[in-house]
Every structure is written in C-alpha cells, then in structure tokens.
Amino acid sequence: MLAIDLAASKSKSRHASRFSSSSVNSVSAEYASPALTRTAVSLEYAALRHAGHCPLGMYVTPSPADLLVWDAVFFVHQGYYTDAILKFRLIFPQNYPERPPTVQFLTDVFHPLISQKDGVFNLAPRFRQWRPKEHHVFHVLHWIKAAFKKHALDEIKEADCLNKEAYRLYHDTTSSFAALATQSSQLSQSASALFDRDHPSMAGKGSHGMHFRELEPEQLDELRAKYVLQDWGAIDLP
C-alpha cells in the first residue's frame, strides 16, 4: 500500500485560498511582467478550489522551488488506463496567461498525445488557439483527464499525435493498443515508478513535488482505523 507525502503542500488543490476564476482575467497581457505572471498563476491555483474546477482523481501542488511549475498526480479510474497512477507537470511560460502552460508527463505512458521522448502532452486538439481571457488551467486539467477516455481517443487526429505508433495501433489493432495501455498502467503502479526518484522515466525531468512512500502494515492499520476504512480483501462483494 502507499500514501502521498505532500511535503510542499498538504492540502488538495481545491482547498486553496478563495478566488474566483474570473479574477485571473484581470491580468492584462499589455502589462505583462514577471510579477503579474506570478499573480496570474497564483490566482489560477486558488481558483481550483471551486466546485468542478479540479477534476476528480487529480492532485496538484505548486513546486516549492518555482511557482511557475506545478506538480500533479492523476489516478485513472476507468478506460484503457484503469488504475494508472500518472505523475505530470505543468510549466507556465513567462508571458502567461498569453500562452498556455506546457504539460509534461514524468511517468512513462503509451498514449497518442504523449511524446515517448520527453513526455510532453499535446494540448492542440482541445486548444487549437489559446484564448487567455477564456481558457484557464482547470480547462487544461479537464482536457488531460478526458484525453484518457475512449470518446476523446476516437476523435484524435493523427496530425496532432506525438506518438504515431499509439495512434495507428488504436485504429488498426485496438487489442494491441489496449495491451500496451494496460502495461503502462501496471508499470505506473510499480514500486520503482512510484518510490524511486532515479527511475529512468524521471531522467532529465527533475524531481516531482509529490513523493510517494510505502506504508508498513502497522502504519496502514493505523490509517484505516483513523479514517474508518476497511481492507478491500475483507469486504464481501455481492
């Protein structure tokens, strides 16, 4: 069993200080500066607390070293990638919100929109043209989640794919694609992927702000007792 150690931020993103997403629009590109960019990013993070802004299954925290870098984890609950635990990062440009953040997966995952070389995720299918007064980070997060579902995979165009092999397998040999997606999910749950900061998929990408740690049986029992949780193995399913 495992737990997330949020050293930089122990609260879930949607519990940040209260700001409305519309406040972000007050930062005008005409007066773009490092201070205003940081303000815009701070307001975006604060806005994640509002209902429906932070997708279920996602946890986000700004990097303690740089406000313009957010670390996130996505727990996939359904579809080809069911049970995957995917670490990714959002990197904001110096002229944000004029330009969108870059999304980079630190966990290796076989997906048409994710580069196998550096983990970059293509936002283009959803944000063909980024509109700073209309598009926000929570839209980006929801697109990331949607991109792992069948209806989005069905609509992705080959020209937008950073992993052409994944695209072709999805359309030509779906069973092979499903097997590789399942393999990605299984590998993402492995001890080396979750706990090893020197895992090959992290090479050159820097450390992630959300650290997983494995729990000893007695620690797990204490947490279950504290939160009144049952062991899945002890639950009788109909």
Domain assignment present for residue 163? The answer is yes
Q: 48: domain CATH number?
A: 3.10.110.10
pLDDT in tens, 187-218: 999 988 888 766 666 656 667 777 777 778 88
Per-residue confidence (pLDDT) for residue 199, from 0 to 100: 66
Domain assignment present for residue 19? The answer is no
Per-residue confidence (pLDDT) for residue 208, from 0 to 100: 76
Spell out the residues 6+ positions from residue 67 whose beta carbon is closer than 8 angstroms to its own.
38, 41, 42
Domain assignment present for residue 112? The answer is yes
Q: Which of 17-26, 154-163, 229-238 has the lowest mean pLDDT?
A: 17-26
Q: Which of 14-18, 73-77, 107-111, 209-213 has the lowest mean pLDDT?
A: 14-18
Host domain of residue 100: 31-206
Q: Would you state the structure tokens that stand for residue 211, as one six-digit string?
A: 């650290």
Q: Would you state the structure tokens that stand for residue 149, as one six-digit string?
A: 């579902």
pLDDT band at 14 (very low <50, low <70, confident <90, very high): very low
**CB pairs under 8 A, 24+ apart, for 198-201?**
200/108, 201/106, 201/107, 201/108, 201/119
Domain assignment present for residue 98? The answer is yes
pLDDT band at 10 (very low <50, low <70, confident <90, very high): very low
Judge whether residue 229 has pLDDT over 90: no
Domain assignment present for residue 142? The answer is yes
Per-residue confidence (pLDDT) for residue 30, from 0 to 100: 45
pLDDT in tens, 28-68: 444 457 899 999 999 999 999 999 999 999 999 999 889 99
Domain assignment present for residue 229? The answer is no
Domain count, the chain: 1
Identity of the amino acid at 65: A
Domain assignment present for residue 220? The answer is no
Across the range 107-111, mean pLDDT stands at 96
Domain assignment present for residue 6? The answer is no
